[in-house]
Structure formats: C-alpha cells, structure tokens
Amino acid sequence: MNAPITLIPLIVETLPVEQYAAALQHLYEQTPSYWQMYNLPGAPAGQAQRDLYEAAGVEGRTMLGIAQRVDRLDPQAGATLVGLVDFRLHWPSQQTAYLAMMLVAEPRQRQGIGRKAWRLLQQWLRKSTEITTVRLGVEQFNPAALQFFQQVGFTLTGEAQRMRVGDKFVRLLYMEQVLRTTPSPVVSGDAELAAE
C-alpha cells in the first residue's frame, strides 16, 4: 500500500519563492515525457522558480505540492514532493476553478497519487469554497491525461482552443466537472488536504 499524501502550498506569503523552487525543479526533471510533448529535451533550467513567481502574482492562483511520506508508518520521517496541482479560483468565471496542471513524477505514476490528489482538492473545493465547476484543458496529444480526467469524472465540453507554445501549436480540449449545481455557503475554511 502506498504512503499517504498531503497537498501543501508552494506559495506562502511569509516564505521566499526559493523555499520550494529546488524541490519543484527536481519534480519537473522527473517528468521528461511532459516536456517532450512540447519538443523540449527536459524541464528548462529555472522553470520552477519562474512558475512560482508567476503564480504568486496572479490573484486566486495556487500551486500545491503533492507530498508523500517517506515512510508510510512514520510521519516524523518526512515527505518528498511527488507531484503538483496548479489551479486558479474564480476563473474564468466567479463560480469556476481552472485546473491548470496536475503533474506526478513519472516513477510515481499509476500508483493512485493523482487520483488521491484530485479527491483531496475536490473535497476542499466543495467544503471551503463556493466553486460549482472545475474546468481544465488537456493537450490533444496527451491521451493519458484525457483518460485520467475522464476516469475521475470530467467530461469533454466540445470546446477546443488552438494556442502557440514555443514554436509549436497545441490544441487544448476543454473538460469540466460539476461539483454542485448552486453555490453553497462555505462550511469549513480548513478542510483536510491529506489522504491515506
């Protein structure tokens, strides 16, 4: 059985961005297939620091690290960063959250980590926000991501957008998941972001 995971904020007002930049860059380096989809040999140097600075400057945007215990039975043994969840609240509309990225280190993929992370975020959005819908865009050439998001309850909207990424054009296929049909009052601001 896998060790429990926790979602931890990578952007904290009281800490410098550099606090998590090295760990995030290491995670990026463990996902070469992601970067190869964009014709890059691997994660560009300094990409994590650029992403963290950019996210810190965007209202409602949050980058959460997916941390997994080093030892399942000993929480004091520490944790390692095995993934990333990057999302923005109230965008593109007030009741919508946009899931920009969910990334799991390649050696840790297909172990249920992404599914657990989505479940934690989904529960937090339901309990701690008035978000009714989560929206995301999946690259047309990323069938594994498309299948993953369909398996966790997202459906294709029929919308697509062609966008330029570096020297390549990418078609994003949009997907959505309805969390609830009407906004509900926030029940708890501190919903649990940890799972077995």
What is the model's pTM? 0.88
* Residue that the structure tokens 């249920």 belong to: 112
Domain containing 63 — which CATH number? Answer: 3.40.630.30
- In this prediction, residue 174 carries a pLDDT of 98
> Containing domain of residue 40, as a range?
5-191
The answer to whether residue 126 is domain-embedded is yes
The answer to whether residue 120 is domain-embedded is yes
Which pairs count as long-range contacts for 48-54, CB under 8 Å and 24+ apart, including other chains? Answer: 48/20, 48/21, 48/22, 48/24, 49/17, 49/18, 49/21, 49/25, 51/24, 51/86, 52/10, 52/11, 52/17, 52/20, 52/21, 52/24, 53/17
The answer to whether residue 196 is domain-embedded is no
Q: How far apart (Å, rounded) are the C-alpha atoms in residues 105 and 62?
A: 19
User: Taking the chain (196 residues) in consecutive chunks of 10 residues, what is each chunk's mean pLDDT?
Assistant: 85 77 96 91 95 93 93 84 97 96 96 96 95 96 95 98 85 96 65 57
- In this prediction, residue 78 carries a pLDDT of 82
Q: What backbone phi and psi angles, to 5 degrees, belong to 13?
A: -55, -35
Domain count, the chain: 1
- In this prediction, residue 192 carries a pLDDT of 57
The answer to whether residue 179 is domain-embedded is yes
- DSSP code of 141? T
The answer to whether residue 115 is domain-embedded is yes
The answer to whether residue 80 is domain-embedded is yes
The answer to whether residue 119 is domain-embedded is yes
> Would you list the DSSP string of 17-80?
THHHHHHHHHHHHT-HHHHHTTT-SSPPTTHHHHHHHHHHTSTTEEEEEEEEESSTT-GGG-EE
The answer to whether residue 14 is domain-embedded is yes
- In this prediction, residue 93 carries a pLDDT of 95
8 A C-beta contact, residue 86 and residue 101: yes
- In this prediction, residue 183 carries a pLDDT of 75
Q: Which among 99, 95, 84 is positioned nearest to 154, based on CA atoms?
A: 99
- In this prediction, residue 115 carries a pLDDT of 97
